[in-house]
Structure 1
């Protein structure tokens, strides 16, 4: 809340910074027209200037050996009352971690289900039925946890209908799988996006940092593209079955009482 933010004291922010933003907690990546030794020297100078005393054998904490995080949230419906004209819906569940071999299968699944204007969610719920302003799916994965979700923004009176359709599209993917044409388009979309991202220095930098944090191994572009192209329709359906069978958490934000059930 605004009151909670205003109550944050400078000393609390400073304590948080000194506790977590420290040399043994940092991974620094850089990309572009630079020299490695020069970058290292600049980093060391900056850390010294910030008051850190660097040990010769200092190294970042190994985050890659982290065990799977315990899920403490609860599945089911959660309603958040807000005086807004549009209802915002998220339906999701826990899924694979970043090092899972099926991460590229997840990318293809996400592209087919809700990764763009040709996706199933967009075509079925927005284009065909005109029930939502926006809808898409997403997947995020970390060293110790991952989650998959579907979003929709709609008129408050359409929430129940949209909730049913979000669940239905995931179930249809699990039961019927995807077509060869959908697989081909999704793979092309993903590969094209990766290649285009190479033109952005920031994307290259983020790719390096994520590789260091998550796996400790840098995977070149050719290998990444090969693994995406190797994904099969059967693998996508098998992962969809896992998602469809998982307990779902649904959050609805809008002009509703928190006791609203939407008939679920």
Structure 2
């Protein structure tokens, strides 16, 4: 599929703040990644699972269990035919948003600087595979799974092939890709809450 290559012009972190009187602040941290056809997507799926793929994920444990500030937290990679993005989203206590953003970015930096252990990695991979199996329980789910691949990629892989791809992901690949995408020039914040200025948030936005 021939597509005009997306030109990256961002040089530093950016923020978009939407003022709204809310009980909690909702935010998304986003970093540009790769398109639908990239060889990196399995690694990015595992990376999302490590950070925000469930109750045992690093960010859930950090925000909910340790800090007690998160109402929800998610992390995953999304892809399109010409680009992709990795996003981390959460809803948190208004008074602690700066603290939360710093904590989230710190967890990202840990993945850049420290290779994760095999036990944690294997647990995340098996969780992802289990969720993938659960997502294919109905006829419609199966049709979308195979039909979407045929429409967009002109080829399809079955569940076991995708599972093998996930199981092949290594801790080294996770660390290398974290170094690649967790960069200031790719970092963006979108936030809805009782705030009118973005200057204080921009001071926090750095890996």
Say yes or no: does 1:151 pair with 2:89.
Answer: yes
> Secondary structure of the residue that 1:154 maps to in structure 2?
strand
- Matching residue within 66, 72, 78 for 2:3: 66
- 1:78 alignment partner in structure 2: 16
- 1:170 alignment partner in structure 2: 108
Deviations 1:97-135 (A, max 9, x none): 111111111111110111111000000121111122111
Say yes or no: does 1:257 pair with 2:196.
Answer: yes
How far apart, CA to CA, are the structure 2 residues paired with 1:65 and 1:216?
14
Query: Deviation of residue 190 (structure 1)?
Result: 1.5
How far apart, CA to CA, are the structure 2 residues paired with 1:144 and 1:247?
16
CA contact (8 A) 1:137 1:150 kept: yes
CA contact (8 A) 2:53 2:76 kept: yes
Map residues 231-246 of structure 1 onto 2, 5 A cutoff.
231-245=169-183, 246=185
Higher percent of residues as strand:
2
> Secondary structure of the residue that 2:186 maps to in structure 1?
coil
How far apart, CA to CA, are the structure 2 residues paired with 1:202 and 1:68?
33
- 2:40 alignment partner in structure 1: 102
Gaps of 5+ in 1: 1-63
Higher Cα Rg: structure 1 or 2? Answer: 1
Say yes or no: does 1:121 pair with 2:30.
Answer: no
Between the two proteins, the alignment pairs up a number of residues equal to: 201
How far apart, CA to CA, are the structure 2 residues paired with 1:166 and 1:129?
11
Say yes or no: does 1:161 pair with 2:99.
Answer: yes
CA contact (8 A) 2:37 2:153 kept: yes
> Secondary structure of the residue that 1:261 maps to in structure 2?
helix
Gaps of 5+ in 2: none
CA contact (8 A) 1:80 1:258 kept: no
- 1:182 alignment partner in structure 2: 120
CA contact (8 A) 2:76 2:88 kept: yes
CA contact (8 A) 1:159 1:262 kept: no
Deviating more after overlay: 187-196 vs 96-105: 187-196
> Secondary structure of the residue that 2:74 maps to in structure 1?
strand
Alignment root-mean-square deviation, CA:
1.9
